[in-house]
Structure 1
Amino acid sequence: MSLQPLTAVNCGSLLQPGCSLLQLDGDIFLFGQKGWPKRSCPTGVFGVRLKHGELKLRPISFSNDSCYLPPLRCPAVTRLEPHDGHPEGYLIHGGRTPNNEISTSLYLLTLDSRGCNRKVTLRCQERELVGEQPGPRYGHTLSMVHSLGKRACVVFGGRSYMPAGERSTENWNSVVDCPPQVFIIDLEFGCCSAHTLPELTDGQSFHLALARDDCVYFLGGHTLSSDSRPPRVFCLRVELLQGSPMLSCELLDTGLSITSAIATRVGPSHEYIVLGGYQSETQKRMECSSVVLDDSGISIEPREAPQWTGEISHSHTWFGGSLGGGSALIGVPSEGRPAPPEAHYFYQVCFQKEGEGEGEDGNQGCSQESTDFEDSAPLEDSEELYFGREPHELEDSSEGEGDTYNEEDEEDESQTGYWVKCCLGCQVDPNTWEPYYSTELLRPAMIYCSKGEGGHWVHAQCMELTEGLLVRLSQGNGKYFCLDHGGLPRQEMTPPRQVLPLKRSPMKPQHRKGPIMQKMTPAKKHFFRRLFE
């Protein structure tokens, strides 16, 4: 057991209470960043790297056939093990957006591909549900049960806004407990069914849900109606029969009075370490517990807690998630005057001895209460790639002593990159490149060629474009073809025919304002001349 402080490198402002940590194919991913995604990571999903006491995040890209996944706080997250040819993944349901809207969607997040330079591409798909669907909620749980060779999802608990008929200007943002119903989701057909059990009388949120085979155990939780955290454990048993599922629930005597806790799995068996969370509105739970699920049921034993630091002991709030392998990430807000430069202090808690449980994937089973903090600067953009290194060198050096894994060394996660070889005569060398146009600063200017399937990006300098032409092309909506496809910097359609303007004589105005001139005969002129003389 150890408690190691971590230094967040240009990423501490992205982690917030309510974020989720996912483990896919041996990697850890952060989901639910603070605020809306920025240009540096439009997907809002980051790869987490812990090494040499440093915490670094790397932007993760999605495949082209992925849907949009908003950053969600306090969603229900559960892991999907490989089953019947389907890869491992995560199901994400509900949660709150940065605009405080509550989601009702169900997303499936899987691994799409992996590059030779540790670049990971994920795939996100929204699952369509039919039947009695769970409404918008957050702070609930999502669990997987296996029965009679089939599997299904169990949704329970959470909070939501008041019904539309009861909301007014005064209580517009007020939340209530969701009805104590259990929803069963068939992943194969997307069918949902709602079930009401007599043992579940009150709604609860921010509880733990630990599943084993056909049983789900609900530990702790908070009830808004009574403002209580009763020390109870519910055992829900689900039998996936041919027609409709059959549910039964049992209330156990022993339990934990806890909310917003973290459960990290230890080893291959169903043994979990529960840490963090709160035991009252103003008091954190500093103790740890060991929870074991077996054929006889559930057993809860106290576990020695690490030696908490002063920042953890004196903080009012904390949050985190499971890193797998018996370890967890804990974050506490930095307090003091003057304000520290970092928004949070981060720590890694490890309950497993070194060398034990390597390669075992942990199970995420936590949901965090949301606490808003001031906005901070987003993750900085990456600028460079790996050059002159073979794929096997990258794999070997990733675990070497001299690999610092600086964020500066990360590649740009866009689909093209600025340092690609755009054509056969490409003149851009990342080692010797210097700004050519006045608009360039750290990266060469590029222009999109519309020819071919999907088009491709080329360097403006390699296409011998003048700066004026480059500016006109970037401001207009015309399509450009590179030198290999014609080199025509104009629109794909036929240019409009030039028509000479017609010469038109101005028309005499009908009502012209000016002095009135009268016509006089020579006799009148002679008369007036003699008169005035």
Structure 2
Amino acid sequence: MSLQVISAISNSSLLQPGFSLLNFNGRVFFFGQKGWPKRSCPTGVFLLDIKQNELKMKPAFFSKDSCYLPPLRYPALCKLGDNAESDEYQYIIHGGKTPNNDLSDKIYVMSLVSKSSKKNTFKCIEKDLGGDVPEARYGHTINVVRSRGKSVSVIFGGRTYTPLAQRTTEKWNSVVDCLPFVFLIDFEFGCCTSYILPELQDGLAFHVSVAKNDTIYILGGHSLQNNTRSPSLYKLKIDLPLGSPSVTCTILPGGISVSSAIVTQTSDTEFVLVGGYQSDNQKRLVCNTIVLEDSKVEVVERASPDWTPDIKHCRIWFGCDIGEGSVLLGIPGANKQLISDANYFYILRCKEAEEDKEEEMSAQICSQTLTEDPGDSTPFEDSEEFCFSAEANSFDVDDTDTYNEDDEENESETGYWITCSASCSIDINTWVPFYSTELNKPAMILCSSGTGHWVHAQCMDLSETMLLRLSEANVKYFCNEHVDLNKGLQTPQKVVHQKKQPMKPLRRKAAMKITTPAKKSFLRRLFE
């Protein structure tokens, strides 16, 4: 196992505890940002690309026939496909928290319908369910099992808000464990069925679940009611005959007391468990291997990587499975940083060195995570991700939104994305509109030094008012690198508006003349 430091380039504040990862054939997409999406990426879904130890985020798009998908933190995720080797599969997303801390009870199906070097387009569909629909929750798991040629999704665990009738002003947003029901969801008919099993007495959240064929293994988790991390290992077996499904639960020995752990798959039968917490104030630095063979499961301890001092001494940590036996880990940054939400990131490779080299030659490593403020709920349990992506395949379908890659200019070669100065911070992959007049390109202004060159207004620290005045006035502007005593910053002179004289009326009444008595007498005699 090897640990490698990754530097995040801009927008790293979106990578907070609670995010999710969607792995499509080596392309890993970030979902579940902190806060509502901005205009630069209204979908809230980003392609995470790690090259040369640098993490970059590129916005992704939705097709025109997609439904609205809010950014959800701590949802349950799993792949939905006919078989593990199929290129056509989708991701199921259930539950989670919105940026307003509301819990979602909806279930979505996401698929990648178009991919290119410039644009990745998703299609998102909200599924209508009937029957025993699971209540809104977060910190739970969802898995797909297959039996007798059929497949169903299984939801278990999680937390939800206290019922409205039991809420008080002081504890309005307090959470409780969901009842330990097992929900089976048939997407073909859109029906849900709940099961009560005597072996499952207490609710669990932030546990780990691994599925193989018709069996699900549930490991670890935290119970709010008892404030314990159960070392139990549960085995759920689902049988899907022609009639009603059958669900049985068996408690197995050899479990681990851990919550908020991350699982990544290294082979067809092996998974690696890393991270998590073994108590409220102690991280779990030990790693384990989960071996699934036939109908048996074995959890054994394995050699841990050389954790850095920052990881050992930090209070919380979080992360998610990247795929191909790698995990993205994050720890809070120092308080002295300019960006309070900035974090440090690491790539943990769980495969052997030879296997890692083969993977690096054939696939591009990307990443993704969950997002939430530690203060929203329990400081530790709400800080990790609880899903894994063992294999990542994607499928090619005709583009549904008539996007033509040849019609779009290569913005990496145009003048808007140049390095305008030594202090230039504009990047095509992470840029966000700064001025109200910007839409999809940064505002630029011409420097009159020499033959002239263009610079970004944001890099020159120009206010929006000054930028508008410089664009309207006929004055010369010099950038921060070329301004001197002889060529000072030319500010537009104040325009003196001339006072307009009021228009004279077209017709003016003549002054009335007063007739004297003598003249009146003359006129009287004249007409007589």
Secondary structure, aligned partner of 2:164: coil
Residue of structure 2 equivalent to 1:315: 314
Q: Which amino acid aligns with 2:93?
A: I
Q: Is the 8 A contact 2:15 2:369 kept in 1?
A: no
Task: Please report how far the alpha carbon of residue 409 of structure 1 lies from its aligned counterpart in structure 2 after TM superposition.
Answer: 3.9
- 1:157-197 Cα distance to aligned partner (Å, 9 max, x none): 00001122212222211111101100000011111000001
Q: Which amino acid aligns with 1:102?
A: L
| Inter-partner Cα distance in structure 2 for 1:219 and 1:369 | 23
Task: Please report how far the alpha carbon of residue 81 of structure 1 lies from its aligned counterpart in structure 2 after TM superposition.
Answer: 3.0
Residue of structure 2 equivalent to 1:355: 357
Q: Is the 8 A contact 1:18 1:369 kept in 2?
A: yes
Task: Please report how far the alpha carbon of residue 300 of structure 1 lies from its aligned counterpart in structure 2 after TM superposition.
Answer: 0.7
| Inter-partner Cα distance in structure 2 for 1:85 and 1:206 | 29
- 1:125-160 Cα distance to aligned partner (Å, 9 max, x none): 111111111001100000010111111100000000
Q: Which amino acid aligns with 2:318?
A: F
Shift in CA distance, 193/338, structure 1 to aligned 2, threshold 3 Å = closer
The yes-or-no answer on 1:248 pairing with 2:280 is no
Residue of structure 2 equivalent to 1:174: 174
Residue of structure 2 equivalent to 1:211: 211
Task: Please report how far the alpha carbon of residue 11 of structure 1 lies from its aligned counterpart in structure 2 after TM superposition.
Answer: 1.9
| Inter-partner Cα distance in structure 2 for 1:258 and 1:166 | 30
Residue of structure 2 equivalent to 1:295: 294
Q: Is the 8 A contact 2:3 2:306 kept in 1?
A: yes
Shift in CA distance, 294/367, structure 1 to aligned 2, threshold 3 Å = farther
Shift in CA distance, 189/146, structure 1 to aligned 2, threshold 3 Å = same
TM-score, structure 2 length as denominator?
0.70
Task: Please report how far the alpha carbon of residue 48 of structure 1 lies from its aligned counterpart in structure 2 after TM superposition.
Answer: 0.4
Task: Please report how far the alpha carbon of residue 243 of structure 1 lies from its aligned counterpart in structure 2 after TM superposition.
Answer: 2.1
| Inter-partner Cα distance in structure 1 for 2:410 and 2:363 | 33
Q: Is the 8 A contact 2:16 2:372 kept in 1?
A: no
Residue of structure 1 equivalent to 2:102: 101
| Inter-partner Cα distance in structure 1 for 2:86 and 2:16 | 35
Secondary structure, aligned partner of 1:312: helix
Task: Please report how far the alpha carbon of residue 433 of structure 1 lies from its aligned counterpart in structure 2 after TM superposition.
Answer: 12
| Inter-partner Cα distance in structure 2 for 1:25 and 1:180 | 34
| Inter-partner Cα distance in structure 2 for 1:46 and 1:56 | 9
Shift in CA distance, 411/344, structure 1 to aligned 2, threshold 3 Å = closer
Task: Please report how far the alpha carbon of residue 240 of structure 1 lies from its aligned counterpart in structure 2 after TM superposition.
Answer: 1.2
Shift in CA distance, 270/434, structure 1 to aligned 2, threshold 3 Å = closer
Shift in CA distance, 197/365, structure 1 to aligned 2, threshold 3 Å = farther
Q: Is the 8 A contact 1:146 1:214 kept in 2?
A: yes
- After superposing the two structures, state which structure 1 stretch, 173-182 or 328-337, moved more: 328-337
Shift in CA distance, 198/356, structure 1 to aligned 2, threshold 3 Å = farther
Shift in CA distance, 433/315, structure 1 to aligned 2, threshold 3 Å = closer
Residue of structure 2 equivalent to 1:142: 142
Q: Looking at both structures, which has the greater relative contact order when contacts are Cα pairs under 8 Å and sequence separation is at least 6?
A: 2
Residue of structure 2 equivalent to 1:280: 279
TM-score, structure 1 length as denominator?
0.69
Task: Please report how far the alpha carbon of residue 118 of structure 1 lies from its aligned counterpart in structure 2 after TM superposition.
Answer: 3.8
| Inter-partner Cα distance in structure 2 for 1:216 and 1:356 | 30
Residue of structure 2 equivalent to 1:16: 16
Secondary structure, aligned partner of 2:41: coil
Residue of structure 1 equivalent to 2:512: none
Task: Please report how far the alpha carbon of residue 107 of structure 1 lies from its aligned counterpart in structure 2 after TM superposition.
Answer: 0.6
| Inter-partner Cα distance in structure 1 for 2:60 and 2:375 | 25
| Inter-partner Cα distance in structure 2 for 1:71 and 1:138 | 13
Q: Which amino acid aligns with 2:374?
A: T
Q: Which amino acid aligns with 2:289?
A: S
Shift in CA distance, 77/339, structure 1 to aligned 2, threshold 3 Å = same
| Inter-partner Cα distance in structure 2 for 1:180 and 1:365 | 29
Q: Is the 8 A contact 2:30 2:369 kept in 1?
A: no
Shift in CA distance, 184/368, structure 1 to aligned 2, threshold 3 Å = farther
Coordinate RMSD, CA, aligned: 3.3
| Inter-partner Cα distance in structure 2 for 1:217 and 1:58 | 35
- 1:456-501 Cα distance to aligned partner (Å, 9 max, x none): xxxxxxxxxxxxxxxxxxxxxxxxxxxxxxxxxxxxxxxxxxxxxx
Task: Please report how far the alpha carbon of residue 386 of structure 1 lies from its aligned counterpart in structure 2 after TM superposition.
Answer: 4.1
Q: Is the 8 A contact 1:58 1:407 kept in 2?
A: no
Residue of structure 2 equivalent to 1:371: 374
| Inter-partner Cα distance in structure 2 for 1:434 and 1:205 | 48
Q: Between Structure 1 and Structure 2, how many residues are aligned? A: 399
Q: Describe how 1:15-54 pairs up with structure 2 within 5 A.
A: 15-54=15-54
Q: Describe how 1:446-525 pairs up with structure 2 within 5 A.
A: none
Q: Is the 8 A contact 2:30 2:368 kept in 1?
A: no
Shift in CA distance, 10/98, structure 1 to aligned 2, threshold 3 Å = same
- After superposing the two structures, state which structure 1 stretch, 162-171 or 217-226, moved more: 162-171
Q: Which amino acid aligns with 1:111?
A: L
Secondary structure, aligned partner of 1:313: helix
